[in-house]
Structure 1
Amino acid sequence: MSRGWSPQPPPGAVRAGAGQRRAQRWLAGRLAESGRRGGASKAARTGTVPPELAAEAVRRHLPAVSPEETAAQMTTVVDELTGLGPLAPAARRPGVTDVLVDGSGTIWTDGPEGLNQTGQRLEAVDARRLAVRLLAQGGRRLDEGQPFGDAQVTGARVHAILPPIAAGGPQISVRLAAPEPPGLEQLAQRWPHGERWLIALRHLLHVRANVLISGATGSGKTTVLAALLSEVPANERIVTVEDTRELRPRHGHVVSLQARSGNAEGSGTVTLAELVRQALRMRPDRLVVGECRGAEVVDFLAAMNTGHRGAAGTLHANSAADVPARLQAMGALAGLGTEALTLQASSAVDAILHLERTETGRHPVELAVVDRALRGELGVIPALSLSGAKLAWGPGWDALEMLADGRSGNAGPTTTRYRDGRGGRHAVES
């Protein structure tokens, strides 16, 4: 394996070297100068570089070539300055959802066909330089004092972690946003029994149910949540709270709040829990927490108990039946006891949608409602469950239909035996 980044360039690829570095320095200087004259530069505001500036940088510092080669040179100069650098070619491949750099510097892609090596590799020093630059671009620091972090860069979520926290060399994970976020109906067309899931999800949206979307990393939680929010009525105000901004629903009135890590002295931190509290003062019609992972769940549940119907959030869990345990664990991080958390969650959450990534893609496998007939215990009742190719209705379906006008139905005492989420089912559809 050759040293450093060594892709197989197509015809017209950039002739890397001193000229390219001079072009990048010249372009960076011009962007900084325009930023000083007019506030933030266009690159800082939008993550893009004006094409005329990129073209002039290439014309000044790289040899005269064909129009195709010039375009390739412009792309590479901009990628190295404000984009994903050597990861950009892999990120542009159709169907790629993730680009990963492992401890050896090997570059991988993830997509419909699973993980694949690209045949390219970064030296440790180059991977570290890239990671630091990407996080700095997103307003985050990455150094010995803060050896890991997330940032939003050119529409992608970038996570990086440095040795010795990471074994081997620096590790970089890039989650790419879809060029055009799919709508809920478009997603449902790819799901097994998609029409049934679509009816259920639109019902939850219509009655302003409070919904948690669970699943593993990469199961499609954020994609489904964004698609759901895109169908919220146009006259409603959505306030989203995220650690790193990923939700980009196609809706005319979205306020996005993003947490912030501290500076080198440890000051300036803004947590998700604080942002949830601030969001409540911003007149939300729909309050959305991109991912509940800690103490912020207490403020989120409190918000849903103060009349903020139609709230939504995501969290990691193995199944819908495991969500109560996850909520209790997160509540414990905020010092909330099991009994108090159970009372909060049972009156706040209406439904849980669980997603999985299988050989057929990312799709829902379970929809459950919270069992309000239980006392002192947080349980769920299955409403829809996908097993193989069969879709089964559970006893929670009646409770789901009772959700109306922003008020929760009570499934009744006969459903308590289903509190583990694995109770009886009926009305199977192949």
Structure 2
Amino acid sequence: MSALMLDERTKPASGGRLVTAGGGAVTLPIDDFVERVRLRMTVNSVEPTPSAVLASVRAEPGAALLGEGTLRQVADRLIGEMIGAGGLAPLLADPAVTDVLVNGIEVWVDRGGGLRRATGQFGDASEVRRLAQRLAASAGRRLDDASPFVDAQLADGTRLHAVLPPIGREGPYLSLRTFRRQTFTMDELIARGTFDPGAARLLASIVAARIPFIVTGGTGTGKTTVLAALLSLSPPAERLVVVEDAAELRLAHPHVVALQSRLSNVEGAGEVTLRDLVRQALRMRPDRLVVGECRGAEIVDLLGALNTGHEGGAATLHANSPADVPARLEALGLLGGVPRAALHALIHPALRVVVHLQRDSDGTRYLSEICVLDAHPEQRTTVVLTAWRRGTGRAAAADQLEMLIDDRGVTPPRPSGPWRFVPGKGWQ
């Protein structure tokens, strides 16, 4: 018997049961009811708009006996499953959430203080699989048994990675990194404790002096956030050309040109790599060339550009410490076919400053060190010299960094006293 009547005070959840208002004489799992509506919409090729979903729910046999509140609850669930992020939608809409991870049916959330378990999102693994496949399809990617993993970017900028069984043994596994359009200013980062005013002045001077720099750190340390804040200090007359794998950098600047790489399609054609885009960017008259994240052979083209008059460039790089940066650059250079000695010959005149970030176990992100990249006296390796360190301020290479800033016509920041920053001129 499929005729149903539900008390409007009842709030069915995934896996729950629809019951009669009279005490349960007629019961039916809500999953069955939802699946019938979904199947009928698919067979009839109904576009899953909110109004069409609600109309389909009301047209289902027995739905006329349900309360209006229940019909809308069922419609909301279907809308979430068919055109939204399902049970993950409220989490992704939370401004505090940075990552949402799904292991089978378990959901974990990071709100900046480490991962915490969330509850009540999915009824079974098949629901997670459907969500993963739909999200992948919305990004133009294929996710099925023949192609069991996907890395894509959703329309709102959220980064999606998904793995299906049997590759994911206890899967499906979903990893969603949310995209926030907010760009933090230097003052806001100071207020958050990312760095102190003295470090902010030094960083702003580096930008004003057009010294090429690289922001380093581990995953989730805030490299993109800090890079965006620093580049937003660039003079308004400058043209910034940004190259990224995933569009994450949002700069508070009036002249930004953004390029994004593209994966190949199912036929294996149409790929556009970061290396391709760096070469194209050089023909676009950039005042500053920015690579969102160096992870491959594009480092060779970036270093080449910074060696041929394209000053003020910047990038981010995964590294556990500033001392690891030369080895990381070597590894990426080898991917581009550049020998170790030749790569170090490119590094010294190209990249001069490392801005290193860290993240504590409680989720706090902060500037750890500002370092100078210098050449070994034998010109065969690159050495990392600390100019500023959290907690102590000025370090051994502080004079060397200030000389770099001064040589480019910018006044280095004063250790104390009143000051104001003028873009392109430094501290006045």
TM-score (normalised: structure 1): 0.77
Q: Which residue of 2 aligns with 1:187?
A: 189
Aligned-pair CA distance for 1:18:
5.5
**Of 12, 20, 34, which residue of structure 2 is paired with 1:17?**
34
Corresponding letter in the other structure for 1:113: G
Aligned to 2:8: none
- Contact 1:240-1:288 at 8 Å conserved across structures: yes
Does 1:381 pair with 2:385? yes
Corresponding pairs, count: 372
Deviation at 1:315, TM superposition (A): 1.0
- What is residue 130 of structure 1 aligned with on the other side? 131
Deviation at 1:139, TM superposition (A): 3.0
* Structure 1 CA distance for aligned equivalents of residues 263 and 148 of structure 2: 9
CA distance 1:94–1:151, shift in 2 (3 Å): closer
| 143-152 or 286-295, larger mean C-alpha shift | 143-152
**Structure 1 residues 182 and 28: alpha-carbon distance in aligned structure 2, compared to 1, 3 A threshold:** farther
| Counterpart Cα distance in 2 of 1:408 and 1:345 | 23
8 Å contact 1:210–1:348 — kept in the other structure?
yes
Identity among equivalent positions (%) equals 42
Q: TM-score, normalised by structure 2?
A: 0.77
The code of the aligned residue for 1:80 comes to E
Per the alignment, residue 247 of structure 2 pairs with: 245
Paired position in structure 1 for 2:108: 108
Measured against aligned partners, the alpha-carbon deviations of 1:84-136 in whole angstroms (never above 9, x if no partner) come to 2221122233521111012x331110013311111235433322322222223
Distance change >3 Å, CA 381–CA 74, structure 1 → 2: farther
* Structure 2 Cα separation of the partners of residues 217 and 269 of structure 1: 26
1:174 aligns with 2:176: yes
Q: In 2, are the aligned partners of 1:385 and 1:391 still within 8 Å (CA)?
A: yes
Letter of the 2:132 counterpart? A
Q: CA deviation at 1:330?
A: 0.8
Contact 1:232-1:251 within 8 A present in 2 as well: yes
Matched residue type, 1:324: P
Aligned to 1:156: 158
Cα gap change, 1:177 to 1:126, in 2 (>3 Å):
same
Mapped partners of 1:273, 1:284: distance in 2: 16
The residue type paired with residue 61 of structure 1 is S
The answer for the alignment partner of 2:367 in structure 1 is: 364
Match of 1:206 in 2: 208
Alpha-carbon spacing, 1:232–1:137, altered in 2? closer, same or farther (3 Å) = farther
RMSD of equivalent CA atoms: 3.2
Rounded Cα–Cα distance in structure 1 between residues aligned with 2:249 and 2:308: 24
Letter in 2 for 1:396: A
Deviations 1:268-314 (A, max 9, x none): 22111111111111221221111111111111111111211111111
Deviation (angstroms), 1:193: 4.9
Secondary structure of 1:318 counterpart? coil
Q: Letter of the aligned partner of 1:380 in structure 2?
A: V
Gaps of 5+ in 1: 8-13, 32-52, 410-430
**Residues in 2 aligned to 1:207 and 1:368: alpha-carbon distance in whole angstroms:** 16
Whole-Å separation in 1 of the counterparts to 2:388 and 2:280 = 35
User: Amino acid of the residue matched to residue 309 of structure 1?
Assistant: E
Deviates further, 352-361 or 338-347: 352-361
Which of 254, 266, 269 is matched with 1:267 structurally? Answer: 269
AA at the equivalent of 2:185: G
Paired letter, 2:117? Q
After superposition, the Cα gap between the structure-2 partners of 1:338 and 1:77, relative to the gap in structure 1 and judged at 3 Å, is same
Larger radius of gyration: 2
Unaligned stretches of 5+ in structure 2?
Answer: 1-12, 17-29, 59-66, 411-428
* Secondary structure of residue in 2 paired with 1:247: coil
Moved over 6 A (4+): 22-28, 72-75
- Aligned letter for 1:280? L
Contact conserved, 1:5 with 1:86, CA < 8 A, in 2?
A: no
For 1:249 and 1:20, the matched residues in 2 are separated by: 44
Q: Distance in 1 between matches of 2:158 and 2:253?
A: 20
**Once the 2 structures are TM-superposed, how far is the Cα of residue 22 of structure 1 from its aligned partner?**
7.9
Equivalences for 1:262-411 in 2 at 5 Å?
262-358=264-360, 359=362, 361-372=364-375, 374=377, 375-386=379-390, 390-404=391-405, 407=408
Matched letter for residue 269 of structure 2: S
**Please, which moves more after superposition, 305-314 or 255-264?**
255-264
1:99, 1:108 within 8 Å by CA — same for their partners in 2? yes
TM-fit CA distance, 1:267? 1.8
The residue aligned with 1:423 is none
Q: 1:146 to 1:228 in 2, by over 3 A?
A: farther
Amino acid at match of 2:55: R
CA contact (8 A) 1:309 1:406 kept: no
Which residue pairs with 2:10 in the alignment?
Answer: none
Q: Is the 8 A contact 1:188 1:197 kept in 2?
A: no
Amino acid at match of 2:383: G
Q: Report the Cα distance in structure 1 between the residues aligned to 2:225 and 2:388, rounded to whole angstroms.
A: 20
